[in-house]
Amino acid sequence: MKYSSRYTEMDREALMQAVQMRMSERRFKHVLGVEETAIALAERFGESPEKASIAALTHDYAKERSDEEFQLAIERGSYENKAELLKYGNAIWHGLVGADFVARELGITEAEILDAIRLHTTGAAEMTLLDKIIYVADYIEPGRKFPGVEDARVIAFSDLDQAVAFETKHTLSHLIEEEDPVYPKTLETYNRWVAGIQ
């Protein structure tokens, strides 16, 4: 894919290299799977494939950073409820805080792309088409193997809102089963997309 330089000064090859340098081979393979899926969903639902590609390639850019690096970024940044945010770990930080690493280090400042990175693990009550695409693509990319993933893939290409609901419901069930903390935004996503509270 040829980038227009509207969203990043880098071409796709340069962006891929910058991302690859920041992660393990396994993580990079996942990122490429998310990109492939995000582009297909963008083409299916009328979003810019270029924006989908950039958001997908950078969604896990900060995933393998140390907790210390995240904690420092949170303490120095302008995040709401810092004390609360610090209680959560990488699963939340790599999206929410990771978007700021992407902006600072890769020079990507398009708000819609950064928001899609921020929300890719938690979702939100209000989501743009790009937010939904990255949220769902991360869940159903070809490397994912878990019970129900094939159903999720079928749903994703027929109804993106239903795919958001499916993913959110299953993610929340998993967190409860594992007795993991649930980030408030995940509950907001559940209430809006699964329970239908507007």
88, 81, 86, 89: which is closest to 65 by C-alpha?
89
CA 82 to CA 121: how far, in whole Å?
19
> In this predicted model, what pLDDT tens digit does every residue of 21-41 receive, in sequence order?
999 999 999 999 999 999 999
Question: pLDDT tens track of the chain, all 198 residues?
Answer: 999 999 999 999 999 999 999 999 999 999 999 999 999 999 999 999 999 999 999 999 999 999 999 999 999 999 999 999 999 999 999 999 999 999 999 999 999 999 999 999 999 999 999 999 999 999 999 999 999 999 999 999 999 999 999 999 999 999 999 999 999 999 999 999 999 998
Cβ-based burial of 188 (10 A; exposed 0-12, middle 13-18, buried ≥19): middle
Q: Please give the C-alpha separations between residue 60 and each of 84, 121, 179, in angstroms, as whole numbers.
A: 22, 10, 24
Residue 187 structure tokens: 């509950």
CA 23 to CA 85: how far, in whole Å?
24
What burial letters (b/e) apply to 79-104, b meaning 16+ CB within 10 Å?
eeeeeebeebebebbbbbbbbbbbbe
Cβ-based burial of 126 (10 A; exposed 0-12, middle 13-18, buried ≥19): exposed
Residue 186 structure tokens: 């995940």
Residue with tokens 């990043």: 8
